[in-house]
A and B are shown apart, each in its own frame.
Chain A
């Protein structure tokens, strides 16, 4: 007989699959966000694709929210995840802006 104390109670067994799927989707959508954003900015894709990039960021944030909720993360981790998602939204903009400015300053 399995000692009940060995089973960690934080996460319900039925929640494991939704957690796994939501975190996989968070990864995929996060990759699409940065990839499409970058491709539009360097003109590999037309500009109409940009809203799709942001849509993928929204999907990423939602999947991470689902994942965090089902995992019952603590207050600190919840804040860290929110800050990460805001950072993830802003970072490609900051990177592109810095790249662009430096190119402008050095080539014109």
Chain B
């Protein structure tokens, strides 16, 4: 996607988006492998076991999103600050270090897979903490890259125009990078280890990443539909307050059963119940700004109805942004709230309910808006004035959204069987675990998850085609 017509910051952004997209594909492929293994347990046995496929699936997820987030920031920085990004040469060098580190880590996951479970494993193969399993040498590399990225952001933000969006991103990204440190050290007490590990996972996805989404949505509304900056930025600050207000102590819902004190039950229940509220607010916000801006255009004087133009400058991107508003509310808010009370979580913890929530929340809250940013980058790279939907873009969004929703429903039904059989009837015993998985509804849920996973992957292929052929497509206005 790289282009010589872009300034260096945006060029670097396209590099980040390109690698993010490749990892997105890898995430889906390894997810398919793991889904097949639920249906055919012997598939790739002792070649690429479920544990390895799952590790690759969820780590690729986190890393492609981090790459796309860095890309999004490098893309919007020149627009927001009015100057070229400071330290872009170092930024480019760090990009290649990041890519090389990720490539080596992935190759080690695939070809080495396991170690002797001592210090060398932690340092050179994997740390064993879900989502952030990178070995310690890569951890240090990631810290260096993140510090360089934050330095570029801060130096540019301080030197250039300090818009509300950039200011929020500066505060947010330093928290985002700093929290990673909580997942780097090793303790031999699993409760203590999990306690700190959640600082990375929860405080990333339910605090700093959500704030990031708010900032990107604000940038998108301004660039795509010409929303009023002052309004959007005022709203952004409210979202930041609401997200941090509920999200930080909402972490209590991860502390129900890991050996932490029981007061976390009340804290977790209360603040988790509040967590969907900012997501409702974000949903209303996006639709309000769209309706208001489009309404102003429709009320303007026109000689005939056909001359009422759409205010949207990038329709595929905006479609993804709207799905973000819906998906964030549904996946993170509703499916999260579904099992966030301790009374419910006692039964659902560790079942496919968690997986259903994870799939819809990561997709709805983050993948959607980051794909939208990729479309904005493709529009800028190809000097397109108004980007229209194509058959590929419509099919891509339909298949991906339909596929992920289908997976979510299938996993939710499978989770219900586990709750009823494995937990309620069998008392969370070893036998109950296997009885639950042997049930017909569970097995069919896994079948449908695989089918819907294939649908999602087909949508990804169409998305790739659409993004790669945009430059030559005559439907866009230049």
Q: Are A99 and B288 in contact (CB under 8 A)?
A: yes
Bitwise, B283-319 to A at CB < 8 A (1) or not (0) is 1110111111001000000000000000000000000
The answer, yes or no, to whether A59 is at the interface (CB within 8 Å) is no
* A77 to B341 alpha-carbon distance, docked (Å): 8
Q: Are A87 and B235 in contact (CB under 8 A)?
A: no
Q: How far is the CB of B440 from chain A (nearest CB, A)?
A: 16
- A contact residues around B330 at 8 Å (CB): 27, 31
Q: How far is the CB of A56 from chain B (nearest CB, A)?
A: 14
Question: Residue of A at shortest CB range from B281?
Answer: A95
* A17 to B330 alpha-carbon distance, docked (Å): 21
Q: Are A34 and B283 in contact (CB under 8 A)?
A: yes
Which listed segment binds A: B202-210, B386-394, B424-432? B424-432
Q: Are B231 and A84 in contact (CB under 8 A)?
A: no
Q: Which of A31, A91, A95 has the most CB of B within 10 A?
A: A95
Chain B's interface size range is: 35 or more
Q: Are A77 and B429 in contact (CB under 8 A)?
A: no
The answer, yes or no, to whether B446 is at the interface (CB within 8 Å) is no
Question: Residue of B at shortest CB range from A44?
Answer: B291
Q: Are B427 and A30 in contact (CB under 8 A)?
A: no
- B contact residues around A76 at 8 Å (CB): 266, 269
Known: A44-B291, A73-B343, A76-B266. A84 touches B285 (CB 8 A): no
Bitwise, A46-66 to B at CB < 8 A (1) or not (0) is 000000000000000000000
- A contact residues around B277 at 8 Å (CB): 87-88, 91
* A102 to B229 alpha-carbon distance, docked (Å): 11
Q: Are B428 and A6 in contact (CB under 8 A)?
A: yes
Question: Residue of B at shortest CB range from A90?
Answer: B277
B331-368 contacts to A, CB under 8 A, are 334-335, 337-338, 341-344, 346-347
Known: A16-B419, A43-B295, A107-B228. A34 touches B280 (CB 8 A): yes
Q: Which residues of B contact A (CB under 8 A)?
A: 228, 230-231, 234-235, 238, 266, 269-270, 273-274, 276-277, 280-281, 283-285, 287-292, 295, 329-330, 334-335, 337-338, 341-344, 346-347, 416, 419-420, 423-429
Other A-B pairs, 9, CB within 8 Å; known A6-B429, A99-B285: A3-B427, A16-B416, A27-B335, A44-B287, A87-B274, A95-B281, A95-B288, A99-B231, A102-B234
A-B residue pairs in contact (CB < 8 Å), sample of 17:
A2-B426, A3-B427, A8-B424, A11-B424, A16-B419, A16-B424, A34-B329, A39-B287, A44-B287, A73-B341, A76-B266, A76-B269, A77-B269, A83-B273, A95-B285, A99-B231, A102-B230
Q: Which residues of A contact B (CB under 8 A)?
A: 2-3, 6-8, 10-11, 13, 16, 20, 23, 27, 30-31, 34, 38-39, 41-44, 71-74, 76-77, 80-81, 83-84, 87-88, 91-92, 95-96, 98-99, 102-103, 106-107
